[in-house]
Amino acid sequence: MAMMSSAPTINGAAKARPEMADLVPGIANALSQLVRRIVAPNPGLMTGPGTNTYLIGIDEVAVIDPGPDDAKHVEAIIGAAMSERIKWVVLTHTHPDHWPAAKAIVARTGAMLCAMAAPPKADKFDLRVDRFIADGDLIDGTEWGLRVVHTPGHAPNHACLYLEEERSIFTGDHVLNGTTTVVSPKRGGDMAAYMESVRRLKAMRRLTRLLPAHGDVIDAPYEKLDEYLKHRAAREREILKLLGGGPLRIRALTSEIYPDLVEGLVEMARNQVHAQLVKLRAEGKVAGTTFTAIWKLSG
């Protein structure tokens, strides 16, 4: 699970994305000396053009987010890397559009499966992890190093992976291109943690690029991170303003905030609003209990 558009513009955002024309499934695209990208054939409302699988290195290869268990996609990954060179399969998190291909790749290459601990039950993650990674860990290839940056929020066990040699960072679903990350309490999402994790990336110095799990490369990292922070702050203000008019349920709030949402995204948007309300409640600004409850301003 990944994303949806930031909103009233969702219909337009879901359709035309000319800048992503090169995101063709099955073709390995060289993005830099060390990085190749293969898009998985799982486009959709929640996955954009499809999950981006990244291959790091040539001599020893790490595969980040192998994606869905699709035979052609697995072939494309193994074919691009030469199987014996794949030493690691690394998951940014365990949502089901990111990991199922790991099983076939690990079985065929003997690669080490690396992921953060404690996958949420809803992810139905059932693979054996060879190495549990934690914040600050280094995955150490002959030509490169990938540093683990724990970024909870979209998922509690979400990690970004910082490629030291290029000062670029693989952002998984933490930061996406063209759309906004879903933070759903039903999937372990936490908006306060999420905002903190966006600020954490922003505090990293001299980042050159963000490489998201969905959508194209982001060449202006700090602009994008600022945009994310501003977007969330604007949503919060909107929610507070709407509740200023009187108590509301999440359904009503959501249809005010996202009036033109396509049917397939309504539930996600409601979860997103819920996540924002939970954060505002922790800050003492609103009162309310559950997803179906009536929410109001505090005090």
Q: Which residue ranges make up the site for Zn ion (CB under 5 A)?
A: 1-2, 95, 173
Q: What is the closest distance, in whole angstroms, from the C-beta atom of residue 155 to Zn ion in the complex?
A: 6
In the chain, where does DSSP find H-type helix? 10-15, 71-81, 102-109, 191-203, 221-244, 250-257, 266-282
Q: 146 vs 159, which CB is nearer to Zn ion?
A: 159
Q: 1 vs 160, which CB is nearer to Zn ion?
A: 1
Q: 175 vs 207, which CB is nearer to Zn ion?
A: 175
Q: 166 vs 173, which CB is nearer to Zn ion?
A: 173
Q: What is the closest distance, in whole angstroms, from the C-beta atom of residue 158 to Zn ion in the complex?
A: 8
Q: What is the closest distance, in whole angstroms, from the C-beta atom of residue 154 to Zn ion in the complex?
A: 6
CB 62 within 8 A of CB 143: no
Cβ-closest residue to Zn ion? Answer: 95
Q: What is the closest distance, in whole angstroms, from the C-beta atom of residue 117 to Zn ion in the complex?
A: 17
CB 69 within 8 A of CB 100: yes
How many residues are recorded in the chain? 299
| Strands (DSSP E) found in the chain | 3-4, 29-30, 35-39, 52-56, 61-64, 86-90, 112-116, 131-133, 138-140, 145-150, 159-163, 168-172, 180-181, 209-212, 248-249, 286-287, 294-297
CB 241 within 8 A of CB 231: no
Q: 182 vs 297, which CB is nearer to Zn ion?
A: 182
Q: What is the closest distance, in whole angstroms, from the C-beta atom of residue 28 to Zn ion in the complex?
A: 23
Bridge partners of 181, per DSSP, are: 3
